[in-house]
Amino acid sequence: MRHARVLTALAGVVLALSACGEGEGGGSETSSEAFAGQTPQQILEKASAAARAAESVHMKGKITEEGESFEVDMTVSNAKGAGGSISLGGEKVELRQIGKTMYVKGGPVASVSPKLADKWIKTSATGEDAAQFSSLTSMDKIFEEMLDPEGSVTRVAGKEIDGVPTVGLKDSAKSDGKTDEQGILYIAAEGEPYPLLVESTAGSGGLQFLDWNEPVKVTAPPKGQVVDSKDIAKELTGG
């Protein structure tokens, strides 16, 4: 599964994903009857359809790669927007998207001037300025990338995740040992076949998918804390 391409934010840095490991079970395999008679590709298609039809999801993960720590904690809704944060090397970026408007706080822009350190930058969610973050605020984009394997998919042993049995699907794509396009996707074998966890095969951990279809409320930052991206030059010069 495409771990690396899901997180293209933070100055275009491309990383693999790794979970914090919380909430995982003891590694017991799911029943052999789950998805009986279905090919790995058919199981993947069911998981993709379930994920895209869902109202909302909470994504949470952490990885340390080549000496840098990366974290993501985002709640995304089809109808109510998205909100959360991503961190790289201790530098945190907060994101909120409401409709076609995106607010970004922290990161490279904030380091340009002390005047922007505690400000939310307002920009169009469909504009070039927000392109590097859009894969984290759209459920369609998240699962279009995440559930698109690089190689053929094979079924492997599942495990319990938060008490839910799963089946595992492994991407057979080759890895260079540094940035991993491979991974194992764990899909719920009870109830809706939602993706619950993606693990990198090159390292430890993965990305968790939690709180499916839970209510989501994203609010705009206070107006006094917002700077329109078109006005950043004025803010920097004091004009």
Phi-psi region of 116 (alpha: psi -120 to 50; beta: other; left: phi over 0): alpha
Instruction: Look at 92 and 7; give whichever has higher pLDDT.
Output: 92
Structure tokens at 122: 């307002």
Question: In this structure, what token pair is assigned to residue 54?
Answer: 């869902």
Domain edges within the chain:
4-216
pTM of the model: 0.78
**DSSP-derived pairing of the beta strands 226-228 and 120-124:** parallel
Query: Rounded distance, CA 201 to CA 203, Å?
Result: 6
pLDDT digits (tens, 9 = 90+) for 28-66: 444 457 788 899 999 999 999 999 899 999 999 876 556
Specify the higher pLDDT residue, 132 or 121: 121
Residue 176 has pLDDT above 70, yes or no: no
Residue 7 has pLDDT above 60, yes or no: no
Can you spell out the DSSP letters for 196-221? EEEE-SSSS-EEEEESTT------PP
Residues 43, 166: contact at Cβ < 8 Å?
A: no
Q: Which long-range contacts (CB under 8 A, 24 or more apart) does 52-55 make?
A: 52/139, 52/140, 52/143, 54/78, 54/139, 54/192, 54/194, 54/212, 54/213, 55/79, 55/213, 55/216
Into which CATH architecture does domain 4-216 fall?
A: Clam (2.50)
Lowest mean pLDDT among 20-24, 144-148, 193-197: 20-24
Q: How far is CA 52 from the centre of its chain?
A: 14
Q: Give the per-residue pLDDT at 136.
A: 80
